[in-house]
């Protein structure tokens, strides 16, 4: 059978040329995992996580010490969604649009909207997963970062968290929402001075490459996190130690949600809740408490905020693939795969010929997972 989708490839790439310029900074900033890409929908793939090593004194002896074993941790990654967007035309619609000379452009626009919808949903899924599994936070709720001219404290604050947590420095990312990006463009004039910034990119294009070792990304998905209703909670643990991630509480009322920011009496660290309050405890991101806490220390729930994120690329896994086909294929007349050269996403387009009409399915399967919370830091806005 002739490839009936060959003539559509120019239209598809025309659509991709637009979609690839959407503000989808997370997609290009995270890691890919080939093992997860081979999994079926909702099938678990375990990604190994190697724990930190410990040193030992070197004492001469007849035999080498019987040491060196480790318990390797892991996190589960799944292809959690398989979605398509249908683009359908019947014969009369096609004839009418062709007579008007608009069929090709309308079809291209519909492909564009289909791809845009899938890309935006993936971007949002990554952001939701990442900010709810962050380690700690820097900034003030309700105050957009970079609002003070010539003040780089917001960059330095999240970078300090990543450095303290031991994140690799060779591929750090900083994904910002519209408000934070606007402040960079409007307030931080030093980024426009070529003799200081070393590049004219911010002045000419409204975006620059790396600041303090972090690749700058812009994401439309970043929006407000609405905090839980929790109030008056006290720690219910006389032995809370540095490194603890499970936080027991008593008294108090209301909800503490994943993504909320909490502080404890006597310390200033802002911890991100990774698992919501349930059964008298909630979880914070690794590496956990920076210092030990005392029983009955007050737990303060931060205000609603906008979570911008700094992270190491390796901290977040994204797996994408075409939907799985049954043995022998399905009833599609033809399929073609088209890759977005900027985000790297590959869409599958399938043609199904029906009674007096054709429908194209623009489709993709994907899953995402933040596998290293200690390598993710939140910049509060």
DSSP 293: -
Closest CA to 285 of 302, 262, 307, 267: 262
At residue 204, the pLDDT reads: 45
DSSP 378: E
CA distance 98 to 101: 5
At residue 95, the pLDDT reads: 82
At residue 1, the pLDDT reads: 41
Domain ranges of the chain: 233-304
Say if CB 365 and CB 321 are below 8 A apart: yes
State the number of CA atoms in the 13 A half-sphere of 233 facing the CB: 26
At residue 37, the pLDDT reads: 62
E strands within the chain?
31-32, 44-49, 73-78, 81-90, 136-139, 172-176, 210-211, 214-218, 233-235, 246-250, 261-264, 270-278, 281-284, 298-301, 307-312, 316-321, 334-339, 346-354, 357-370, 376-380
CA distance 121 to 318: 13
Say if CB 261 and CB 272 are below 8 A apart: yes
- What is the end-to-end Cα distance of the chain in Å, rounded? 55
Closest CA to 220 of 13, 21, 17: 21
- Report mean pLDDT in 10-residue bins for the chain, 381 residues: 66 66 82 67 69 76 77 76 92 84 81 88 96 98 94 95 94 94 83 52 54 89 97 88 94 96 95 97 96 93 98 92 85 85 80 92 92 96 95
Q: Distances in Å between the alpha carbon of 380 and those of 18, 161, 367?
A: 30, 13, 26
At residue 213, the pLDDT reads: 87
CA distance 28 to 218: 11
């Amino acid at each position: 059978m002739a490839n009936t989708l060959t003539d559509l490839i120019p239209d598809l790439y025309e659509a991709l040329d637009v979609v690839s310029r959407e503000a989808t900074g997370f997609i290009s900033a995270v890691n890919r995992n080939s093992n997860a890409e081979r999994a079926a929908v909702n099938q678990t793939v375990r990604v190994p996580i190697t724990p930190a090593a410990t040193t030992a004194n070197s004492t001469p002896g007849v035999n080498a010490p019987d040491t060196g074993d480790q318990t390797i941790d892991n996190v589960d990654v799944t292809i959690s969604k398989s979605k398509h967007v249908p683009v359908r035309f019947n014969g009369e619609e096609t004839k009418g649009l062709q007579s008007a000379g608009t069929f090709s452009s309308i079809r291209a626009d519909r492909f564009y909207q289909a791809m845009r919808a899938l890309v935006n949903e993936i971007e949002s899924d990554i952001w939701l997963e990442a900010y709810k599994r962050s380690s700690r936070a820097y900034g003030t709720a309700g105050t957009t970062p970079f609002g003070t001219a010539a003040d780089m404290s917001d960059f330095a604050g999240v970078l300090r968290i990543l450095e303290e947590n031991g994140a690799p420095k060779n591929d750090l990312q900083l994904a910002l929402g519209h408000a934070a990006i606007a402040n960079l463009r409007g307030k931080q004039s030093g980024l426009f001075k070529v003799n200081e910034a070393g590049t004219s990119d911010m002045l000419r294009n409204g975006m620059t490459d790396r600041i303090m070792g972090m690749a700058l990304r812009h994401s439309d998905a970043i929006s407000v996190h609405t905090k839980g209703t929790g109030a008056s909670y006290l720690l219910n643990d006389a032995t809370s130690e540095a490194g603890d991630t499970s936080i027991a509480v008593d008294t108090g009322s209301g909800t503490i949600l994943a993504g909320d920011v909490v502080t404890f009496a006597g310390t200033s660290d802002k911890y991100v809740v990774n698992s919501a309050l349930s059964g008298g405890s909630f979880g914070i991101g690794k590496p956990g408490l920076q210092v030990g806490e005392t029983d009955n220390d007050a737990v303060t729930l931060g205000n609603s905020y906008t979570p911008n994120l700094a992270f190491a690329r390796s901290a977040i896994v994204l797996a994408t693939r075409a939907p799985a086909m049954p043995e022998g294929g399905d009833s599609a007349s033809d399929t073609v795969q088209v890759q977005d050269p900027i985000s790297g996403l590959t869409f599958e387009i399938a043609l199904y010929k029906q009674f007096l009409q054709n429908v194209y399915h623009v489709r993709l399967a994907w899953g995402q997972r933040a596998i290293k919370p200690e390598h993710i830091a939140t910049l509060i806005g």
